[in-house]
Structure 1
Amino acid sequence: MLKPASGYIPGIDGLRAIAVLAVLVYHADYLSLLPGGFTGVDMFFVISGFVISQSLSERNSTGFADYLFGFYRRRLLRLLPALLVVVAVSFVLSAMLLPQVWLSEQNNRTGLAAFLGLSNFVLAFNTDTYFSPSVELNPYLHTWSLGVEEQFYLLFPGIWYLWLRHRQRIPALWALLPVLALASLATSAVQSAHDPLAAFYLLPSRFWELAAGALLYQLLRRRPLQARTGGTLTVLMLAGLGLLLAGFLRADAARFPMPWALATVTGTLLMITALVLPGTGSPPLLHVLLHTRVAGYLGRLSYSLYLWHWPVAVFIRWTVGFELLAVQLAYPLLVLGLAAASYHCIETPIRTGRSVLQRRSWVTATAAVAVLAVAMPGARWISENPDQLSLSRTADTYTWMAYRHAPPSSAQPINAPQLQGRQLFALGDSHTAAYRTMLRQVQVQLGVEVIEYEHGGCGVVRLIGADPPDCADRRETALRAIEAAAKPGDMVLLASLRMPELAGRDWSGDSAATWAAVFAELDRGHHDAAMNSAHAVLRRLQAAGLQVVIDAPKPLFKASANRCSDWFNRINPVCAPGLEVSRAQLLALRADQLQQLQQLQDHYPQLTVWDPFPLLCPGATCSAFDADGLPLYFDADHLSGHGNRVLAADFIQMLLRVWGVPLGADGRETQ
């Protein structure tokens, strides 16, 4: 009986080249050729399942311990060195080039987990999907697939060893892998509909893809391989390529892995079969192309290409941007150069070396643990002290960050009996967190307890539309907690984004049309829904006897100050709209919201509207920076630490008035 080809199969590298190029094209912002190119990762899964099965089958003559430890030794030497280099470099470059935004904590957790092959878990329990805009800024995002493979490697060798050694004596072992694959397929189908993050990132819904490659090896091992004519191999190749193209061109991100991964997995299986089957006559053209030196070399580089392509794209996106032709041309060359250096200087020498480190499993494992023991704490230190390496103005965290530093020593305590035992509850979206410096100053100067309930994207009394329905449970939990803990006369600050965002829009064309689109978002239907949400919240707070403060809409901008303030990012096209906006335009944009606030004030006597707009925009043009060049804003609509300090005195005086603390001529409490 002819067995599957043993040893190196050159055409497999050709398939790897297709897979990695599909992923690279998909992730290149300036190309829209392969909207489903992310399915190249699924090709890698199938190929890995087949190749690992082949490798393990060729080493089944040893005992289980040697079989298992030898496998993990080869995996560590193959995967870990290049991964460590890429992740470590990404931590350093992140600290140097990227402002520490609200995404940084998520990014850092992903990177630290990547050292251990667990980044897919971090991403699975994040609120952003693989396809959301925010993950484009995470340089470790792509390591999720490596995590899936590494977790597969923890389970598969034992399963495969049982099949290799005992399939003749226990025929039921032939069914073990198919049953597990079918269970995974069913899990994938259910999770794709009801838990898409788990379906995309976690092994239970991806196991079947890796197992498919192993099942193909089993099938070819069980049945005699007959030589096929060139025509038969051509049909297999074309059918496989057609299914791959269907995935590359049509795969729906909203329904993935199921059902669209089926096309990619099946197509890859067909092409592997055509490569493995012995043929008669001239080989098909696709077979020849997959065996070319270029395809083979790109396939051998595929791991390093995959590792480097994504962080390079992230750092380009954050600095100069992808819009310039020179950058678009340089990007693939830079990735190719880094991948080649990684392959020739890191991957190959470490994988093929003959030292004790490479030949002894326990030495390899010990060295891996030692390196991780150094790399992970180092990466953690960098993530916690980015200002030590940063080249950005945002390294001045006292000025830029709204949550890092204590109030200035000039913030003198104000003592008054009306403040004794008072509590201030802050509820809203990320703009509540952006007041944190100011709220800490309130806590220090007034001696009141400040309790925050904030969550990004979960605005409360937004005025521009209904409060987000997917935040209803979180909002209800916060309101109940406030009702349970608050005493009559305590205060609730409702802080949220209350104007349509200007950043992220196309301002390069007809500016008037873009402004019209912004104003169109404030239609009457949204107005009614917004007022209904506002009444639902304010009625409860008034019934509890609480004072309520709502911040009126603040200025906001078309670009982010933290992305457009350094020499290495000012040419980024996202910065072209600038960091200034006409005051009159913003006043017109918030006019309806001010009317709504007035209506609410008329209805709820314990409601106070605090308007920070005049302090943030005193002139005819609103700027993200004040007259001294200090940032009032951290990004396009969240305040900086300096912006907080600009507002703090005014906010504190408002609180004193509401709580009935008499003020002297100097604005301080009188005894």
Structure 2
Amino acid sequence: MSYPTPRHNGAIDGMRALAVIAVIVFHANGSLLPGGFTGVDLFFVVSGFVISQSLASRPSDRLSSYLLDFYRRRVLRLLPALLLVLMATFVLSALFMPRAWRNEQFDQTGLGALVGAGNIVLAWQDGDYFSPGADLNPFLHTWTLGVEEQFYLLFPLVFFAWLRGRHRYAMARWLLPVLALASLALAAYQTTASPTQAFYLLPARLWELAAGALLYQQLATRDAAAHWQRWAMPGLALVLVGFAFAPELPFPFPGAAGTVVGTLMLLVAAASTPEDRPHALLRLLRWAPLAYIGRLSYSLYLWHWPVLVLLRWTYGMQGMALWAYPVLLLALASASYHWVECPIRHARAGHRGHPGKVLAVALAAVVASGASAWGIIQYSEHLSLSTTRDGYMWRAQRHPAWMPVESIDAPSLSGRSLFVAGDSHAAAYRTMVTMAARQFDLQLRMDERGGCGIANLLRASSAECIAYRDQVLAKIEREARPGDIVLLASLRMQELRGLDWSAGDAVVFRQLREARTLADATAAEADAEAVLSRLQALGVHVVMDAPMPVFKSAAYRCSDPFNRMNPACAGGLGVSRAEMEALRAPQMALLDKLAARYPALHVWDPLPLLCQATTCTAMDGEQPLFFDQDHLSGHGNRVLLPDFDRLLLEIGEAPR
């Protein structure tokens, strides 16, 4: 049985429009449409249905020609606009996004998206789709494209088997249903066991795309019934409920089930509607403006996220940006659709030439784009318009080996080892400790794990961090000699980021002080003693840094003319020194108690060097003392180096 070229169904364009509008509104302001992200699930079901239509309309006796023709059409349809948006995003990100620790993850996502693997990269990174900071990754949205592109590698083979063998072989008929059920079972298991992988990866999402394909197979083998139009209203209701309310159920299963079922009902109604007597709701979905947005949906989806993220990094989503964003987005999507998507998709050269040649050109374009993206990443500091492009000042990197340091004559320190361990704040001392090690001829050994402070002085450590702590201590016990120095550096202050300051600074700081309970204090003391008792037994000197200032806003995000108006910078880069002293008073009292109990402990307090008489600021004039809200910058490391040298000299003079 052969199938004619499918007629264009305006109702499906309307469904695509609903999906992309829901996703855009959710991403712009999730409180307006808490479940708007389920528009992606609508897309998946529609895609499975439409791709089946497309595959059925071009039957072939040879699998090779069938696949080549399919991939040629997919490449012409999807690749040009995708490469355009990805390359524009790489360039604009290099210009306006300051380099930070997250940028490496962003770059990996973008490079993965070039080869249809953005979702795979995201699945194995820290955090998930809803994690804080995920909304700053300009390539985050490419996960859906990765799912679909990977589906395209498998599905044509399955559909060809159904198309050619369904009348003779039961397996040809049952292959897709079995795969869909297996995917559904995996989604049910993985949503709880590995939620990030379930969300991003094809195996737990295949059932959604397969649902649309299975619906097409059913409709293709039987005549549509006019009463199926009645499914339009309940189907739309299910979809809209999914948009309006964030699912409390685990996602993607069973959280996406309602949207998938509603989309299937809408597709059934659209497929069964006579041209001359359409259902009123389907007439609405065919409404010309809505159908046009549906035709733009691919370009809208591609552009909406990087434009939104770049606004978040710069001016912020406020004031005129709220009005300019939809206008700019519609203009970019229209230009992309009319000047890139359509001309290349319908170009004679693309359809008359051998599919292999088209795919070869596509591969060359991907390779060239990948090489260009890599070059942009490598030279981002040279392209950047941000003051943070000066990595020497902003980032706490290891002091380059070629850059000289002034040696300090201290024979008593020469040859000793300096162990540095803790959370990311230990890593933020890299410049200082690297320079000090070279000055005193120390052997530097660093070990850090983000989020796992050692003796944080605030509360008990998590089980994961206790395991890391014990691993570090065991390493020091194996390698350290009496007289060696151990610097334990950690975040030892409550963070100020993300707090509601509307009640006033005094109220918030009081709440932070009161939030630390007696149980927290007791656990923090026991945690610190567990560390110090083991280290003192080794005969080493232990240095713990006292709590340093923390800030409401990140210096690297708020130091350029194009981002100083951002709401993320409203807290400013200064904070009252008196509030800082009061906030850290319990930790300082605990340090005094521990120093009296453990002679091996040296308390080093950088705060007086980083704060003025009444104010602590993240900036030293035009130079940064801090990179973000609480991590030192490269310049901040150099400001502290002389005092750290003084401490090392005192340790060198102490008896071993």
Q: TM-score range by the shorter chain?
A: over 0.9
Equivalent-residue separation in structure 1 for 2:224 and 2:24 (angstroms)? 37
Given that residues 313 and 563 in structure 2 are in contact (C-alpha distance below 8 angstroms), is that contact kept between their aligned partners in structure 1?
Answer: yes
- Pairwise CA distance, 1:253: 6.9
Given that residues 418 and 487 in structure 2 are in contact (C-alpha distance below 8 angstroms), is that contact kept between their aligned partners in structure 1?
Answer: yes
Equivalent-residue separation in structure 1 for 2:371 and 2:526 (angstroms)? 50
Change (3 A) 1:150 1:226: closer
Given that residues 192 and 250 in structure 2 are in contact (C-alpha distance below 8 angstroms), is that contact kept between their aligned partners in structure 1?
Answer: yes
Given that residues 357 and 367 in structure 1 are in contact (C-alpha distance below 8 angstroms), is that contact kept between their aligned partners in structure 2?
Answer: no
Equivalent-residue separation in structure 2 for 1:509 and 1:359 (angstroms)? 68
Equivalent residue for 1:478? 472
Equivalent-residue separation in structure 1 for 2:344 and 2:274 (angstroms)? 36
Equivalent residue for 1:26? 26
Within the candidate set 525, 532, 536, 1:531 is matched to 525
Given that residues 4 and 220 in structure 1 are in contact (C-alpha distance below 8 angstroms), is that contact kept between their aligned partners in structure 2?
Answer: no
- Pairwise CA distance, 1:646: 0.4
Equivalent-residue separation in structure 2 for 1:137 and 1:469 (angstroms)? 30
Deviations 1:62-81 (A, max 9, x none): 41111001111111111111
Change (3 A) 1:351 1:528: same
The correspondence of residues 33-72 of structure 1 with structure 2, limited to 5 A, is 33-72=32-71
Q: Which amino acid aligns with 2:44?
A: F
Given that residues 551 and 618 in structure 2 are in contact (C-alpha distance below 8 angstroms), is that contact kept between their aligned partners in structure 1?
Answer: yes
Deviations 1:139-162 (A, max 9, x none): 000001111111111111111111
Equivalent residue for 2:380? 386
Equivalent-residue separation in structure 2 for 1:249 and 1:490 (angstroms)? 61
Equivalent-residue separation in structure 2 for 1:584 and 1:12 (angstroms)? 62
- Pairwise CA distance, 1:138: 0.5
Deviations 1:137-188 (A, max 9, x none): 1000000111111111111111111111111121222111111111111111
Equivalent-residue separation in structure 2 for 1:59 and 1:475 (angstroms)? 62
Equivalent residue for 2:191? 192
The correspondence of residues 126-525 of structure 1 with structure 2, limited to 5 A, is 126-222=125-221, 224-229=222-227, 232-234=228-230, 236-252=231-247, 255-279=250-274, 282-324=277-319, 326-356=320-350, 359-403=353-397, 405-406=399-400, 409=403, 411-525=405-519
Equivalent-residue separation in structure 1 for 2:9 and 2:353 (angstroms)? 24
Q: Which amino acid aligns with 1:8?
A: H
Secondary structure of the 1:355 match is helix
Equivalent-residue separation in structure 2 for 1:381 and 1:467 (angstroms)? 42
Q: Which amino acid aligns with 1:172?
A: M
Given that residues 2 and 225 in structure 1 are in contact (C-alpha distance below 8 angstroms), is that contact kept between their aligned partners in structure 2?
Answer: no
Equivalent residue for 1:13? 13
- Correspondence 1:646 to 2:655: no
Equivalent residue for 2:624? 631
Equivalent residue for 1:667? none
Comparing 517-526 with 157-166, greater Cα deviation is found at 517-526
Return 5+ residue gaps in structure 1 as ranges: 663-671
- Pairwise CA distance, 1:454: 1.3
Equivalent-residue separation in structure 2 for 1:39 and 1:239 (angstroms)? 17
Deviations 1:51-105 (A, max 9, x none): 1111111111341111001111111111111111111111111111111111011
Given that residues 509 and 579 in structure 2 are in contact (C-alpha distance below 8 angstroms), is that contact kept between their aligned partners in structure 1?
Answer: no
Change (3 A) 1:661 1:535: closer
Given that residues 37 and 247 in structure 1 are in contact (C-alpha distance below 8 angstroms), is that contact kept between their aligned partners in structure 2?
Answer: yes
Equivalent-residue separation in structure 1 for 2:211 and 2:446 (angstroms)? 49
Equivalent-residue separation in structure 2 for 1:594 and 1:113 (angstroms)? 47
Equivalent residue for 2:96? 97
Given that residues 198 and 252 in structure 2 are in contact (C-alpha distance below 8 angstroms), is that contact kept between their aligned partners in structure 1?
Answer: yes
Equivalent-residue separation in structure 1 for 2:566 and 2:574 (angstroms)? 16
- Pairwise CA distance, 1:24: 0.4
Equivalent-residue separation in structure 1 for 2:128 and 2:249 (angstroms)? 10
Equivalent-residue separation in structure 2 for 1:495 and 1:158 (angstroms)? 56
Change (3 A) 1:358 1:638: farther
Equivalent-residue separation in structure 1 for 2:374 and 2:411 (angstroms)? 46
- Pairwise CA distance, 1:487: 2.5
Q: Which amino acid aligns with 1:7?
A: R
Deviations 1:586-612 (A, max 9, x none): 111111110111122122221111110
Aligned positions, number: 655
Deviations 1:489-527 (A, max 9, x none): 322211111111112223345333222232233232322
Change (3 A) 1:357 1:655: farther
Equivalent-residue separation in structure 2 for 1:441 and 1:620 (angstroms)? 30
Change (3 A) 1:522 1:323: farther
Given that residues 509 and 583 in structure 2 are in contact (C-alpha distance below 8 angstroms), is that contact kept between their aligned partners in structure 1?
Answer: no
Q: Which amino acid aligns with 1:398?
A: Y
Secondary structure of the 1:517 match is helix
Change (3 A) 1:43 1:5: farther
Equivalent-residue separation in structure 1 for 2:643 and 2:316 (angstroms)? 39
Given that residues 542 and 606 in structure 1 are in contact (C-alpha distance below 8 angstroms), is that contact kept between their aligned partners in structure 2?
Answer: yes
Equivalent-residue separation in structure 2 for 1:515 and 1:168 (angstroms)? 73
Secondary structure of the 2:640 match is helix
- Pairwise CA distance, 1:414: 3.1
Equivalent-residue separation in structure 2 for 1:40 and 1:365 (angstroms)? 31
Equivalent residue for 1:608? 602
Equivalent-residue separation in structure 2 for 1:622 and 1:358 (angstroms)? 68
Q: Which amino acid aligns with 1:499?
A: M
Change (3 A) 1:379 1:405: farther
The correspondence of residues 562-573 of structure 1 with structure 2, limited to 5 A, is 562-573=556-567
Equivalent-residue separation in structure 2 for 1:318 and 1:226 (angstroms)? 51
Equivalent-residue separation in structure 2 for 1:79 and 1:279 (angstroms)? 31
Equivalent-residue separation in structure 1 for 2:389 and 2:252 (angstroms)? 41
Secondary structure of the 1:414 match is coil
Within the candidate set 544, 549, 557, 1:550 is matched to 544
Equivalent-residue separation in structure 1 for 2:248 and 2:70 (angstroms)? 34
Q: Which amino acid aligns with 1:248?
A: F
Alpha-carbon RMSD? 2.1
- Pairwise CA distance, 1:280: 9.3
Equivalent residue for 1:669? none
* Percent of pairs with identical residues: 51
Given that residues 394 and 635 in structure 2 are in contact (C-alpha distance below 8 angstroms), is that contact kept between their aligned partners in structure 1?
Answer: yes
Change (3 A) 1:571 1:156: same
Given that residues 350 and 358 in structure 1 are in contact (C-alpha distance below 8 angstroms), is that contact kept between their aligned partners in structure 2?
Answer: no
Equivalent-residue separation in structure 1 for 2:52 and 2:399 (angstroms)? 55
Equivalent-residue separation in structure 1 for 2:241 and 2:464 (angstroms)? 34
- Pairwise CA distance, 1:46: 0.8
Equivalent-residue separation in structure 1 for 2:444 and 2:600 (angstroms)? 19
Comparing 363-372 with 635-644, greater Cα deviation is found at 363-372
When normalised by structure 2's length, the TM-score is 0.96
Equivalent-residue separation in structure 2 for 1:486 and 1:254 (angstroms)? 51
Given that residues 131 and 253 in structure 1 are in contact (C-alpha distance below 8 angstroms), is that contact kept between their aligned partners in structure 2?
Answer: no
Given that residues 456 and 524 in structure 2 are in contact (C-alpha distance below 8 angstroms), is that contact kept between their aligned partners in structure 1?
Answer: yes
Equivalent-residue separation in structure 2 for 1:131 and 1:313 (angstroms)? 16
- Pairwise CA distance, 1:303: 0.6
Q: Which amino acid aligns with 2:86?
A: V
Return 5+ residue gaps in structure 2 as ranges: none
- Pairwise CA distance, 1:618: 3.5
- Correspondence 1:589 to 2:583: yes
- Pairwise CA distance, 1:477: 3.0
Q: Which amino acid aligns with 1:660?
A: E
When normalised by structure 1's length, the TM-score is 0.94
Given that residues 344 and 350 in structure 2 are in contact (C-alpha distance below 8 angstroms), is that contact kept between their aligned partners in structure 1?
Answer: no
Change (3 A) 1:79 1:478: farther
